Structure 1
Amino acid sequence: MRFLPAKFLLLPATQCIAIAGMILGDGYTFLGFGVVVLLALVLDRFDDRSDYDDRLDVGISGKALVYLIVALQAVLIVTSLMAATSAHSWIGVVGVILTLGQLLGLGAVDVGHELAHSRNRLDVELGRAVIAPCLHTSSIIDHVYRHHAAVCTADDAVSAKRGEPFVAYFRRSVVSQNLWAWNFAAKRMRHLDKSVWSLSNAALRGHILEVAYLLFAVLVFGWIGLLVAVVAALIAMRAIESISYIAHYGLIRVPGTPCCPRHSWNSRRTISSGYMLNMTSHSHHHTTPSLPYWDLRVKDDMPILPLSPGIMSLIAPISPLWFRAIEPAIADWDRRFATDAERALLAEQTWRRPSRQGRSTGGLPSGA
């Protein structure tokens, strides 16, 4: 048996630093946020060259790390809300919001996602609980039951179209995921001859967890607690959706054809892959969804993001910077990876900006 690679300790270590910052209070509440910025944005310059075919026998340590991160997230939430209510200035509250929001988003992207793909029902429910403080539990249902089947097609809400700005994508994606998840769960309830308001409704259970979290924040920590919980959740939701935005941006697949490694963007950056529990090996995950995070790898012939995931996520809402970074990679994908049938679908899967007259205008074309 081998130990987990040390890079996977980055998130729990950062959670511990953030918790310490919350206990110290005021300016120290920025500690966790600062560590993430330093590591994921400034120092994430080295590539992980693990052998693609190498599989790690990590025993119980792989799953134990997931549960540890879940436990630390719970402690972080409580200490963060305590720090916000006892802060001597709004500076401390801002630090709480930034740190909590960023780390909730990271926890949802990696641990929530990992648990959502588990075959153990309790793990799936735990994953739902991890994402509940992000107020985005519908994303679990959409991800497992729609995204994996429809990835890179027009039917997938979280596959960003070419030329689609992040703000437009965010609005469309969040609304679509919530509506689709509810309709999917309601249809399942009708199939089982149960009420849509039954607790068997997974979408309803998720929303109950979200409301329970907000009630906990306001009843125990007052209106400041509720404010921090809501704003941090929006930051976390933005983090989740920005990762989804960059994961498949501009890539095209013919409906009904297999999902291949070329249909996801990847990154070899060591720090990002550690923080995200190898979700940077996105192609491998989509071709083998049941594979545990520690066995996900990136091959040289997979589409690679031009910059680290942290930087790509940061610039995603800034359209001029985003398009300048991604368009050369998109043009390269068209040349090296796309099939003729996928190129033929380009016009269909290019974003159209609604005009004031109700018509639509073309989005930014590849290479623009």
Structure 2
Amino acid sequence: MAIIPAAEVQSLRKALPFWLSLGMIPVAIAGALWGGLWVVGLPVYSWVLFTILDAISGLNEDNADPETPEAGLGYYRMLTVVWVPLQVVLLFWMIWYVPQAAHLGVLEKIVLFFGAGVVSGTVGIVYAHELMHQKPAWERWLGDILLAMVMYSHFRSEHLRVHHLYVGTPRDAVTARYNEGFHRFYPRVLRSCYRSAWAAEAAMLARRGLGAWDKANPFWRYWGLQAGMILLALALGGWQGLVLFFWQASVAIWQLELVNYVEHYGLTRRYLGEGRYEHVLPRHSWNASHRATNWLLINLQRHSDHHYKPDRRFPLLQTYSAEEAPQLPYGYSLMTVAAMIPPLWKRMMNPRVRAWRRSYYPDVSDWHAYNKALNPAPKGAPR
């Protein structure tokens, strides 16, 4: 009988809590098969359960050794890889099954696919984000598949080519301005990010002497994958299935942008003049050490370190003290709910932003200029 090495057992034990996201799959299937109250199971599982687990399990401020080799991360990497086929099968099974399910009423179907959007957004897009930051091309392709399932493929270009370069500056649409409510932020981001993603890729191609419509533009891949998802939804579920597909995609996008709103709200990098800003520092992202939500979101709440080391795999992301980086009072699950209620959000967060300014930039007295573009971006660069 083979004996599993102690190091292997320890690695598996530490990785297993992150696999709790797979619990969404049987909950989704139960909602489709049984209807009734089961159709609200997915939001309850992802939002309520993990908020309760946060309260029970508390904070996790331990850091893994960032020099851990890839070979020691197998169980973590496996999670993000196996999720892709599982989400594809789950979503398109639901698109095939639900339109013909006589026991499900219209409202039940709407609520059920709201939950499917929670799965695609809370887990699918977060895993896509992890995958698209990695060096192996096959992992980035898996990320593209997940993004195409929610019709948001351009997020890869916008995130890598724009957000990581310009976070904390007016050129980054995804950095929520101080005192900007989510309901103003959301349409602004939807308008701006597609254009800035296209402009960033076009500028990259131009530097190689290629035109914006060259076959090397990843938008061809994005459009092809998205078209494939639409045709598959239509073939399996007819027009009703297609409507449900777009409904879950819209919910997933809303989930993504809620998290984007929370991550950098009101935080800005110092303007150095001549269109330049200071380097990104841990202070330019909101962090949360709530243990259970970090299991669900594969350490996305350790956001400062992600901007410091964008290709660092999620189990190795480091947490920071309150002296090094601003901390959220609750995990993302609760904070995104608060973001949907602007008066509540501003009452919670505006004093924290003002305290952050006094702490890190006591010499800056006028912050109005940081809410608009101080200098135009160079021609051909994303704004």
Give TM class, smaller chain. 0.7 to 0.9
CA distance 1:123–1:199, change in 2 (3 Å): farther
For these two proteins, the number of residue pairs brought into alignment is 350
Among candidates 79, 82, 91, match of residue 65 of structure 1: 79
The alpha carbon displacement at 1:232 in A equals: 1.1
Once the two structures are TM-superposed, the CA of residue 242 in structure 1 deviates from its matched residue by 0.5
Do 2:97 and 2:237's aligned partners in 1 also have CA atoms closer than 8 Å?
A: no
**How far apart, CA to CA, are the structure 1 residues paired with 2:341 and 2:129?**
26
Superposition map of 1:116-195 within 5 A: 116-194=132-210
Distance of 1:75 and 1:194 partners within structure 2: 38
Q: C-alpha distance in 1, partners of 2:228/2:234?
A: 10
Helix, strand or coil: the match of 1:312? Answer: helix
Q: Which moved more, 1:237-246 or 1:194-203?
A: 194-203
Question: Contact 2:144–2:153 (CA<8 Å) still a contact in 1?
Answer: yes
Which residue number in structure 2 is paired with residue 359 of structure 1? none
Match of 2:92 in 1: 78
Match of 1:358 in 2: none
Match of 1:365 in 2: none
8 Å CA contact 2:59, 2:289 repeated in 1: yes
Structure-2 change in CA distance of 1:161 and 1:18 (3 Å) = same
**2:31 alignment counterpart:** 21
- How do residues 218-237 of structure 1 correspond to structure 2 at under 5 angstroms? 218-237=234-253
Deviation at 1:33, TM superposition (A): 2.6
Q: CA-to-partner distance for each residue in 1:318-357, whole Å, 9 max, x for gaps?
A: 21111111122212212323363xx3562112379xxxxx
- Check conservation: 2:266, 2:353, Cα contact below 8 A: yes
Larger deviation, residues 210-219 vs 281-290: 210-219
Q: 3-state DSSP class of the match of 1:274?
A: helix
- Corresponding letter in the other structure for 1:305: L
Amino acid at match of 2:306: H
Partner of 1:98: 114
Match for residue 355 of structure 1? none
- Please say which of residues 267-276 and 25-34 is displaced more in the overlay: 25-34
Tell me, in whole angstroms, the C-alpha distance in 2 between the residues paired with 1:199 and 1:65.
32
Q: Please tell me whether the aligned partners of residues 25 and 83 of structure 1 are also in contact (alpha carbons under 8 angstroms).
A: no
Aligned position for 2:3: none
* Paired amino acid for 2:182: F
Match of 1:298 among 308, 319, 328: 319
Secondary structure at 1:44 match in 2: helix
Q: Which runs of 5+ in 1 are unaligned?
A: 353-368
Structure 2: which 5+ runs fail to align?
Answer: 1-6, 271-275, 374-383
Quote the Cα distance in structure 1 between the aligned partners of 2:290 and 2:330: 9
Post-superposition shift, 1:203?
2.1
C-alpha RMSD over aligned residues: 2.2
Percent sequence identity over matched residues?
Answer: 26
Per the TM alignment, residue 95 of structure 1 is displaced from its structure 2 partner at its CA by 2.9
Query: 1:256 offset after TM fit, Å?
Result: 3.1
Equivalence for 2:367: 346
* Alignment-mate amino acid for residue 6 of structure 1: L
1:275 CA drift (Å): 0.9
Residue 37 to residue 238, structure 1, CA distance change in 2 (3 Å): same
Instruction: Give the C-alpha shift of residue 31 in structure 1.
Output: 2.3
Counterpart in 2 of 1:276?
297
What TM-score, normalized by structure 1, do the two folds share? 0.88
Query: Does 2:210 align with 1:205?
Result: no
Cα deviations by residue, 1:210-233 (Å, 9 ceiling, x for unpaired)? 232122212221111111111111
Moved more, 75-84 or 254-263: 75-84
One-letter identity of the residue aligned with 1:94: I
The CA distance in 1 between the partners of 2:233 and 2:49, in whole Å, is 30
Contact 1:252/1:345, CA 8 A, preserved across alignment = no
Task: Give distance in 1, aligned partners of 2:143 and 2:342.
Answer: 32
